[in-house]
């Protein structure tokens, strides 16, 4: 049987792109169709097919291109594929081909239903005027198109519930792949001299917050945890909120150390050395908590969202209803009693090999 993979757009980084890489390796003969390709080094150029939007000024302008995406996905050209696998977080599941593939079995791997139009309260891009104008008719169309796939898989139970509420479809859960072996690795890290100096200058004990520096990641709560528990804080990453976080940290001199855009090896060492990894955002899945657990480090996270499905409360971390000072102090204290081996064992349940096996069984039966 031959297949085709459909994905929204290809970018240099991102969890969805890691999924597409796994799918491309699992189905090496399947071409990849996307709106545009901003990561030409990821796949051989003969394998990726871009749409007409890639040749227009709308390339990368997602909110402006949004109204044109559904029609674009409906006109992907001729294909002889026996099955179509749509990797979708916006409208890729609308995909349609001419030829034999017009009647091919369609599978949808859904990271979420389109936040732009279904949950603008958690995605500010959905509040722009063009999107707000288009939202109502797009919701109706999106639900209609979501009735077409033979089967849908979601990245978490959290997303599964959203799919049932918005698309009115049932789905199975297949968790995204995490490269656990890259973090549960006892080898000496391959660090530069500068990176080793960063590690040498870190406090002996600290809590870690690591992600992009953007508002919904709530890294301010990692600083708050340090203040509440009287423990040093390391914030790793970068992004538009850096200046705000530095200003907040300045209110607590000497408490916070910033590590800008750590490499994989440096991030792994930060996970290993921290007392606990703090992950406050409500995510659809959340790869970084699994990475932290793979190094033996417990995680403090929200009881709402995908992280609550990877962390076992009291065994590999602590799940919180709220992030008040007393809650954070108690959580950090509880994390000290958690067995690192329990964390590592739990992380392996979300390894890439588990994903590949689940996906292959789903698509090929």
List the domain boundaries for the chain.
Answer: 3-174, 180-349
Least confident piece of the model among 14-18, 242-246, 342-346: 14-18
The CATH fold of domain 180-349:
Rossmann fold (3.40.50)
pLDDT on residue 124: 62
Across all residues in the chain, what is the average pLDDT? 94
Position 275 confidence tier, pLDDT thresholds 50, 70, 90: very high
Rounded-to-integer distance, Cα 84 and Cα 330, Å:
48
* Short-list 81, 93, 94, 86, CA closest to 3: 81
Query: How far apart (Å, rounded) are the C-alpha atoms in residues 314 and 11?
Result: 37
pLDDT of 207: 98
| Strand (E) or helix (H) holding 138 | helix 129-145
Is the pLDDT confidence value at 360 over 70? yes
What does the pLDDT look like over 180-239, one tens digit per residue?
999 998 888 889 999 999 999 999 999 999 999 999 899 999 999 999 999 999 999 999
At residue 15, the pLDDT reads 83
Can you give the pLDDT at residue 63? 77
Mean of pLDDT values over 303-326: 97
DSSP annotation string for 21-36: HHHHHHSTT--EEES-
Answer CATH for 3-174 from 1.10.3470, 3.30.559, 3.40.50, 2.60.40: 3.40.50
Task: Convert 137-154 to b/e letters by CB count within 10 Å (16 or more is b).
Answer: ebeebbeebbeebeebbb
Residue 131, pLDDT score: 67
Give residue 243's pLDDT. Answer: 97
Mean local confidence (pLDDT), 309-327: 97
Q: What pLDDT is recorded for position 187?
A: 83
**Does position 10 have pLDDT exceeding 90, yes or no?**
yes
Q: How large is the C-alpha radius of gyration of the chain?
A: 21
Q: Give residue-wise pLDDT tens across range 62-97.
A: 878 888 999 999 999 999 999 999 999 999 999 999
93-143 per-position pLDDT tens digit? 999 999 999 999 999 999 999 887 887 766 566 566 666 777 788 899 999
CA angle 133, 135, 141 (to 5 degrees): 130
């Amino acid at each position: 049987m031959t297949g085709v993979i459909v994905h929204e757009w290809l970018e240099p980084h991102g969890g969805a792109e890691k999924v597409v890489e796994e799918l491309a390796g699992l189905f090496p003969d399947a071409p990849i169709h996307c709106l545009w390709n901003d990561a030409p080094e990821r796949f051989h150029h003969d394998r990726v097919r871009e749409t007409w939007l890639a040749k227009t000024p709308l390339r990368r302008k997602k909110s402006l291109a949004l109204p044109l995406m559904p029609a674009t996905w409906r006109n992907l050209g001729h294909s002889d594929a026996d099955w179509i696998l749509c990797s979708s977080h916006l409208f890729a599941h609308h995909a349609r081909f001419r030829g034999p593939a017009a009647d091919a079995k369609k599978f949808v791997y859904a990271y979420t239903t389109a936040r732009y139009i279904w949950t603008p309260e958690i995605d500010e891009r959905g509040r722009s005027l063009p999107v707000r104008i288009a939202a109502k008719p797009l919701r109706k169309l999106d639900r209609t198109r979501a009735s077409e796939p033979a089967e849908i898989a979601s990245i978490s139970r959290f997303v599964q519930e959203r799919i049932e509420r918005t698309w009115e479809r049932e789905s199975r859960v297949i968790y995204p792949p995490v490269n656990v072996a890259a973090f549960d690795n006892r080898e000496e890290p391959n660090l530069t001299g500068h990176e080793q100096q960063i590690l040498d200058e870190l406090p002996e004990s600290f809590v870690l917050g690591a992600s992009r520096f953007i508002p919904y990641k709530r890294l301010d709560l990692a600083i708050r945890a340090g203040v509440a528990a009287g423990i040093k804080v390391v914030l790793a990453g970068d992004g538009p909120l850096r200046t705000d976080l530095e200003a907040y940290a300045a209110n607590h001199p000497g408490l916070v150390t910033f590590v800008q855009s750590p490499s994989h090896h440096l991030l792994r060492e930060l996970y290993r050395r921290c007392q606990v990894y703090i992950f406050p955002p409500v995510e659809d899945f959340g790869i970084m908590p699994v990475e932290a657990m793979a190094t033996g480090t417990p995680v403090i996270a929200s009881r709402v969202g995908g992280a609550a499905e990877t962390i076992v409360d009291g065994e590999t971390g602590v799940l919180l209803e709220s992030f008040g000072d007393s809650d954070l102090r108690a959580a950090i204290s509880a994390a000290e009693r958690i067995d690192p081996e329990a964390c590592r064992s739990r992380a392996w349940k979300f390894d890439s090999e588990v994903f590949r096996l689940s996906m292959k069984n789903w698509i090929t039966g």
